Chain A
Amino acid sequence: AQRVTQPEKLLSVFKGAPVELKCNYSYSGSPELFWYVQYSRQRLQLLLRHISRESIKGFTADLNKGETSFHLKKPFAQEEDSAMYYCALGSGGYQKVTFGTGTKLQVIP
């Protein structure tokens, strides 16, 4: 069974501090990992995916198959990063995406 765990419901950091949002997954096949973000009063949107190996808005995430993790990182938090972040796991065959429970990131000015 697919499972995504985000251990923190809320993460508060000061502006300029590093951010790490944790995500662990459970999946027997080859995983496809995503981070989705939902800003206040906006719809859920894709932030980044592991196959793209890209940095979006200063965020990066590395898939660690040994630790079954896909943590989201940013070296210097900005106030506009405050949002709800969801880690998600795709099974490849079709767009069944399993989401974690989400972590609310609060950047304190």
Chain B
Amino acid sequence: ETGVTQSPTHLIKTRGQQVTLRCSSQSGHNTVSWYQQALGQGPQFIFQYYREEENGRGNFPPRFSGLQFPNYSSELNVNALELDDSALYLCASSLSVSTSTRETQYFGPGTRLLVL
């Protein structure tokens, strides 16, 4: 098993609330990506952080934001929750920012968020 961990495992929030999801990357991995996986869909790229800076973003609104810390942990924050935000949120860490290298993304187990 990989060293990527996520907390909490499950979370229930109501519409309009804010949520923070946490990820602890594999040791030494300076790149973390976050994905949203709705039921029956593949993971959808939210954004990537490299050395504590956002390095790329998918088609998600600004109310999705993140932070990466020097200790290889990171957060995904979602403000003004909507019902459609209900999904599994995955983080993935890697040694490289680029998919062109042979470095692999290692995924965490995910946090399942339910917005009521």
B57's closest neighbor in chain A, by CB? A96
The segment from B12-20, B74-82, B103-111 found at the interface with A is B103-111
A39 to chain B, nearest CB (A): 12
Q: How far is the CA of A109 from the CA of B98 in the complex (A)?
A: 40
Asked if A43 is at the interface (CB within 8 A of a chain B CB), the reply is: yes
Main secondary structure of the interface of B (DSSP, over half): loop
Most chain B CB atoms below 10 A, which of A91, A94, A98: A94
Asked if B96 is at the interface (CB within 8 A of a chain A CB), the reply is: yes
Binding site for A on B (CB under 8 A): 1-2, 4, 31, 33, 35, 40-45, 48, 50, 55-56, 58, 90, 92, 94, 96-100, 102, 104-110
23 CB contacts below 8 A, A to B, read A44-B90, A45-B2, A45-B106, A45-B107, A46-B105, A86-B42, A86-B43, A90-B99, A92-B99, A93-B98, A94-B97, A95-B31, A95-B48, A95-B56, A95-B99, A96-B33, A96-B45, A97-B45, A98-B45, A99-B35, A99-B44, A101-B41, A102-B42
13 new A-B contacts, CB < 8 A, other than A95-B48, A101-B42, A102-B41, are A43-B4, A43-B110, A44-B92, A86-B42, A90-B99, A94-B55, A94-B99, A95-B97, A95-B105, A96-B58, A97-B33, A99-B42, A101-B40
Binding site for B on A (CB under 8 A): 4, 32, 34, 43-46, 49, 51-52, 86, 88, 90-102
